[in-house]
Amino acid sequence: MAKIEQRFGKSVFSLIWLGCALLGAMKTAPAQTVSEIVLHNFGRPTTGGLPYAGVIRDAAGNLYGTTASGGAANAGVVYKLDATGRESVLYTFTGGTDGGNPNAGVIRDAAGNLYGTTSGGGTANAGMVYKLDAAGLETMLYSFTGGADGGYPYGGVIRDAAGNLYGTTAFGGTANAGVVYKLEPVAGGAGQWLETVLYSFTGAADGHQPIAGVIRDSVGNLYGTTYVGGTAGFGVVYKLDTAGQETVLYSFTGGPDGGYPYAGVIRDAAGNLYGTTYYYGTAGFGVVYKLDTAGLETVLYNFKGAPDGGYPYAGVILDRQPLRDYLP
């Protein structure tokens, strides 16, 4: 089975930059001089390479992220950058049962534990969900089989107040079209976690191949995208309620509205969703879109390819917006 990075090539590097670039492109204020500061160069293979995902930041200003390759086994690493740009490799994946090739980044709990996914490795080599404690000890929380439980998670996880994790797999499920899953710790289970498939995509109008993860609102509804599928085959934005009922909020046509949403969505306080599509739009280089609560899509920006860029893999962020509205 071809991996997603093989399909799209090795061109994804600084995804964290995209949100800033989009905000700059959409503003009408006079252009400002922007200077870049390189915090770290992944120059040595043992310290990681190809950081597909962005980073998260703790209160002390340290950054945490992953690389999809590099490390001792060339299966990726979890790293920390301090405020001076000094990198510490927190964990090096072997590509075996501990996982390998993390495409997604990490999230962090109040105790400093990190949680993430790998697209490969695990007991069935179909990817897994892991926890990394403050001492650098990795624990496999769940290993996907590639069957009905899902397989090959390219998106990361989010975490609710009870400590449950939610995410997607790009493949597996009853139709091999991907799943949305929940992981919860088993009470008294000595570190065991139970997976529940919340939804299994059929690959038809409901969507196919969710590359990105999900977000969650205050009542427990989940929102996300599928890269393909939908009524026209160009991907969908969906909502999954607490009963496991999926609603397609929007199905892309591959025209001026965009198509192939590689990234997920964020949500504002009014319930509007925002995201990007990798392809199409008026110039064919992807769009930034808004989806209101009635399912009406508005294209906020059409990429032209040059000099404003094109083919956005990553999503967007909102300024002056409470974090609780669009982060786990």
Q: What residues pair up with 81 in beta bridges, in sequence order? A: 63, 87
- Token pair 């091999």 is found at 176
Please tell me what DSSP assigns to residue 21: H
Q: Report the helix count and the strand count for the chain, using DSSP H and E.
A: 2, 20
* pLDDT score at 64: 98
Cβ pair 221, 249 in contact under 8 A: no
Cβ pair 152, 127 in contact under 8 A: yes
- Give me 275's structure tokens: 């995201």
Please tell me what DSSP assigns to residue 323: G
Confidence label for 118 from pLDDT (cuts 50, 70 and 90) = very high
Q: What is the mean pLDDT of residues 293-319?
A: 96
Q: What are phi and psi of 107, to 5 degrees?
A: -120, 165
As a whole number, the mean pLDDT across the chain is 90
pLDDT greater than 70 at residue 8: no
What is the rounded CA–CA span in Å between residue 272 and residue 282? 23
What are the structural domains of the chain? 1-26+45-166+180-186 (no CATH), 201-320 (2.120.10.30)
Starting at the earlier edge strand, list the strands of the sheet with 266-267: 266-267, 273-277, 287-291, 297-302
- Give me 48's structure tokens: 């990681």
